[in-house]
Chains A and B, each alone.
Chain A
Amino acid sequence: MIFFISVVTYSQNVTSPYSIIGIGDIETSYFNRTSGMANTGIAYRNNTSVILNNPASLSNLQNQLFIVELSGRGRIVNYSGTGVAPGTTGKDFSVERFSLGIRAAKFWGIAVGLMPFSTSNYSFNGTTSLQGTNTTLPVTYNGNGGINRFYFVNGFRITKNLSIGVNTSFLSGSLTRSDSIFTADQNTGVFTTKNIYLRNLYFDYGLQYHIPVSKKWDVSLGATYSNQTDLRAQTTALVKDERGDTLSNQTLSNNFFTLPSSAGAGIAITKNKNLSFLADYRYQNWSSLNMSGADYRLVNSHRYSAGVEYSKLKQYLGVPYEVYNLQAGAYYNQSYLDIGNEQITDMGFTIGAGLNSKRSTLSYHLSAEIGVKGSKFTPVKETYAGFTITFSYKDFWYTKGKKFD
């Protein structure tokens, strides 16, 4: 299992120019079944899948279920904007999430795992002034890194219809910002690498309420909430010359990056237990933090998404299991970045399909999305297409004798 953990890396190669701001791009995807429904799932429950959208949903895992999930995402992005050459593209594929989930007791589901919290990846050329003159020197700027989220989720069923849950995450990672300054003849240079180490615990609370309206219809409501959290940030700087000799190595500062309080609400309406309509709203309270920079401000973000899922069910020994599923979704996100008085929006469509083989063991889920981040009014517009693939390995762990729910 440690092998899997080491495999979930953050070497995304797609450049994200806005990831220079703050702690990079904060991940909005859960890399799971709900990715086919635009990651809509605050009110979603599935008994054979780890749904991290709402920690309370863990309480619905099938009895004595043991599940391992691994997800990867591939993307291709086309960039446009002032200063971007036409036809500039980037692509990548990387493993994003690892989860281990079990139903520990009749009312209690647990999941642990690793997924990205934020990533930063950018590269551009600029200039810096040659101090003591009116001329400039060329500089290459690079950014890498991101924050990982090691999570431990517990979901509890309080009553037949009410579940609560808490996702205890340890956010940890480092952002690297480096710049390379060269002298005019390109033979000598100064290479500065700043590393910002961030860490803290982060809690996400969730609640789900299930209302069986009639024999055909079910309604679920969900809500999530996180507190404002300060990430401890330590910045170090290493300066080297062109031969690799260290010129300076020091700790610059120890302060905080504040993550805002956030909340979410969702609804799911299910017909005949196999056709679901979902809608989510997620909100992050950045404005009260008053974070801003040269020409940007961090403002409240709002994400609206909706999805539909059809699940083909069959009965096996009295227990319904899913043969396959089909999904579609759409999202509209007003992100927390406001650059030059223009809030960056991210919108798109998704589709998804999943397949479960026979009784349990392996399941596959593939989702695809297509979207646009930014617009012609923002400095850079990204048009992207991507897919998320999730592999699940399910099994039952035995106590004394088989038990069926």
Chain B
Amino acid sequence: MTIFYKKQVLFLLLGTVMITACQKTPIQFGQAYVDNSFSNIVLVDTISPQLSTVFVDSTVTSGSGAMLAGDYPDPYFGKVSAKSFFELSPSGGVTLSHNPVFDSLKLILIPNKSFYGDTTVNCDFSVYQLSNPMSFPQFQNVFYNNTNFAVNATALGSFAGRIYPNITDSVFINLSNSMGQELLNQYKENDATIQSATNFIAYFKGLRVGSSNGNMQAVYGFKDSATLRLYYHETDVFIENKHIDFKLYNSDNTQFNQVLSDKTGTPVAAFNSAKKELLSSETNGSAYLQYITGFVPKIKFPSLNQLYLRPDFVKIIKADLIVKPITGSYPTSMPLPPILYASETDQNNLPGGDLIDATSSSFQTGNLVLDNLYNQNTQYTYDVTSYLQQQLAITYTNQNGLLLIPPAPTRIASFNRAIFGDKTNKQGAIQLKLFYVSVNP
């Protein structure tokens, strides 16, 4: 057999893959001949999550960045009252010339536009002076919603009137003239008390602002930059009106809000330090959320393992948790929290890692949808796909679940709350829509 190199080269050229890489042309024919029974996606909505409410009897309320004062009646949480405790420090660089004459002493509060409850009713605030300086117990550097400090018997001043949170930019509360005169005298004498914050706090202690009689209809939020202003005038040739400011002092982290609630006769009355978690079936088919008063809903998935009973089950491909506030529980005066994180927890009910959105890698916020038309489709939605895939892999019985918690620091500066219905609640039932890959065994 002779070998012809030229021919072989030619054949090599011919032999190279001469296939035009075209796109396959789709032709709509053949649906009748496909067998879809082998693999499928199946939707299961009969695995119902279990709802319960977790009660935390003391919540840290230091460092909220807000002063909360007032009360409001809540049909679910009882009468909620808030009082703000804070210290003041003198401003330096004040020089008095001759004959300063005291005019008035006012506490100036600046609303931060937040409120909860009915603000069409007049407010009724009283300002009291603390009897002792605020101090931390050993090993503690924060205060709680149930922390209390004693006050003097007589109020320093009060304010009755209407606050429009979006319009009113300052609230002036008149305080006791004798206190004002005493402070001016200290400046006249250049007393040691007004020389430093420490000295002043030891002398003045601090103030508490709250409702006078516990009958207010709304809680108001103020910026944590209140000012105690001492108005005086000096007579020389002309009358010159001047003032001395004492600013809110929080370098020692003592500013906090006391938030208490009287739960008598409410659905949450059963909670106390002994009963810290109750199933929704024990609380009117609902779970309760108001972080600042200590209520956090917990969602568990005890029947998730039912998926293994299905012989065609392979893997959870998508799972959506839909949590619905019950109809009529969120009037415009008492709105829902705009953002709720879903925090992983276990039998200890302490918040852990928050669920992350797979595409944006940021925390899931619940994507609250408000149905203002029918009030039936208001809901928070969470993608619990990877969470449930992990939970399904756990073989031992557990109390793992998700806590719905608003983000910090707003959660301790607001009263936004929600009442969620469990699977039996016709006013708004919790739902799990779970899609799994089914392969014929």
A binds B: yes
Report the separation of the CA atoms of residues A20 and B27 in the bound assembly, to the nearest whole angstrom: 11
Q: Which residues of B contact A398 (CB under 8 A)?
A: 1-2
Bitwise interface map of B from 53 to 83 toward A, beta carbon under 8 Å scored 1, else 0: 0000000000000000000000000000000
Of the candidates B23, B28, B43, B315, the one whose C-beta lies within 8 Å of that of A83 is B28
Whether a CB of chain A sits under 8 angstroms from the CB of B44 is: yes
Whether a CB of chain A sits under 8 angstroms from the CB of B438 is: yes
Whether a CB of chain A sits under 8 angstroms from the CB of B238 is: no
Q: Are B10 and A362 in contact (CB under 8 A)?
A: yes
Q: Which residues of A contact B213 (CB under 8 A)?
A: none
Report the separation of the CA atoms of residues A290 and B102 in the bound assembly, to the nearest whole angstrom: 113
Q: Which residues of A contact B32 (CB under 8 A)?
A: 293-295
Minimum CB–CB distance from B100 to chain A (whole Å) comes to: 71
Q: Are B33 and A88 in contact (CB under 8 A)?
A: no
Q: Are A84 and B1 in contact (CB under 8 A)?
A: no
Report the separation of the CA atoms of residues A91 and B28 in the bound assembly, to the nearest whole angstrom: 17
Report the separation of the CA atoms of residues A239 and B15 in the bound assembly, to the nearest whole angstrom: 36
A-B contact count (CB 8 A): 174
Q: Which residues of A contact B14 (CB under 8 A)?
A: 70, 391
Q: Which residues of B contact A88 (CB under 8 A)?
A: 25, 27
Report the separation of the CA atoms of residues A81 and B25 in the bound assembly, to the nearest whole angstrom: 14
Of the candidates A11, A91, A181, A393, the one whose C-beta lies within 8 Å of that of B40 is A181
Nearest-neighbor residue (CB-CB) of A293 within chain B: B33
Minimum CB–CB distance from A378 to chain B (whole Å) comes to: 10
Whether a CB of chain B sits under 8 angstroms from the CB of A142 is: yes
8 A Cβ contacts from A85-121 to B: 88-95, 121
Of the candidates B4, B26, B437, the one whose C-beta lies within 8 Å of that of A125 is B26
Nearest-neighbor residue (CB-CB) of B10 within chain A: A362
Q: Which residues of B contact A230 (CB under 8 A)?
A: none
Of the candidates A14, A95, A124, the one whose C-beta lies within 8 Å of that of B28 is A124
Report the separation of the CA atoms of residues A141 and B30 in the bound assembly, to the nearest whole angstrom: 9
Q: Which residues of B contact A291 (CB under 8 A)?
A: none
Q: Which residues of B contact A92 (CB under 8 A)?
A: 19-20, 22
- Known contacts being A130-B41, A239-B39, is A125 close to B28, with CB within 8 Å? yes
Report the separation of the CA atoms of residues A241 and B316 in the bound assembly, to the nearest whole angstrom: 10
Q: Which residues of A contact B385 (CB under 8 A)?
A: 188
Q: Are B26 and A123 in contact (CB under 8 A)?
A: yes
- Known contacts being A92-B20, A128-B40, A132-B45, is A15 close to B317, with CB within 8 Å? no
The CB with the most chain A CB atoms within 10 A, among B25, B33, B317, B439, is that of: B25
Nearest-neighbor residue (CB-CB) of B7 within chain A: A393
Q: Are B41 and A123 in contact (CB under 8 A)?
A: no
- Known contacts being A131-B40, A190-B317, A295-B32, is A70 close to B439, with CB within 8 Å? no
Stretch from A1-9, A145-153, A325-333 at the B interface: A1-9
Q: Are B17 and A190 in contact (CB under 8 A)?
A: no
Q: Which residues of A contact B394 (CB under 8 A)?
A: none
- Known contacts being A7-B17, A13-B22, A294-B33, is A132 close to B27, with CB within 8 Å? no
Report the separation of the CA atoms of residues A237 and B439 in the bound assembly, to the nearest whole angstrom: 10
Minimum CB–CB distance from B18 to chain A (whole Å) comes to: 6
Q: Are A183 and B318 in contact (CB under 8 A)?
A: yes
Q: Are A21 and B314 in contact (CB under 8 A)?
A: no
Report the separation of the CA atoms of residues A9 and B16 in the bound assembly, to the nearest whole angstrom: 11
Q: Are A122 and B30 in contact (CB under 8 A)?
A: yes
Minimum CB–CB distance from B423 to chain A (whole Å) comes to: 17
Nearest-neighbor residue (CB-CB) of B2 within chain A: A395
Report the separation of the CA atoms of residues A142 and B30 in the bound assembly, to the nearest whole angstrom: 10
Q: Are B4 and A70 in contact (CB under 8 A)?
A: no
Nearest-neighbor residue (CB-CB) of B318 within chain A: A188
Nearest-neighbor residue (CB-CB) of A91 within chain B: B22
Whether a CB of chain B sits under 8 angstroms from the CB of A277 is: no
Report the separation of the CA atoms of residues A79 and B27 in the bound assembly, to the nearest whole angstrom: 8
Q: Are B41 and A137 in contact (CB under 8 A)?
A: yes
Of the candidates B17, B19, B435, the one whose C-beta lies within 8 Å of that of A183 is B435
- Known contacts being A84-B28, A125-B26, A239-B314, is A190 close to B19, with CB within 8 Å? no
Report the separation of the CA atoms of residues A131 and B27 in the bound assembly, to the nearest whole angstrom: 26
Whether a CB of chain A sits under 8 angstroms from the CB of B396 is: no
Report the separation of the CA atoms of residues A296 and B32 in the bound assembly, to the nearest whole angstrom: 10
Report the separation of the CA atoms of residues A179 and B20 in the bound assembly, to the nearest whole angstrom: 25
Whether a CB of chain B sits under 8 angstroms from the CB of A282 is: no
Report the separation of the CA atoms of residues A187 and B317 in the bound assembly, to the nearest whole angstrom: 10
Q: Are A123 and B39 in contact (CB under 8 A)?
A: no
8 A Cβ contacts from A162-209 to B: 177, 179, 181, 183, 187-190, 192, 194
Q: Are B39 and A131 in contact (CB under 8 A)?
A: no
Q: Are A380 and B435 in contact (CB under 8 A)?
A: no
18 more A-B contacts (CB under 8 A) besides A88-B27, A183-B317, A395-B4? A4-B11, A13-B24, A18-B29, A20-B33, A83-B28, A94-B19, A123-B26, A132-B42, A132-B43, A133-B43, A181-B41, A183-B435, A188-B385, A239-B439, A241-B437, A247-B314, A248-B439, A252-B38
Residues of B that sit less than 8 Å from A by CB: 1-2, 4, 7, 10-12, 14-34, 36, 38-45, 314-315, 317-318, 359, 385, 435, 437-439
Ordered by A's residue number, 18 sampled pairs between the chains whose C-beta atoms are within 8 Å are: A4-B11, A68-B11, A79-B27, A83-B29, A95-B19, A124-B29, A126-B31, A130-B42, A132-B45, A139-B36, A141-B31, A141-B34, A179-B36, A181-B41, A188-B385, A293-B32, A293-B33, A398-B2
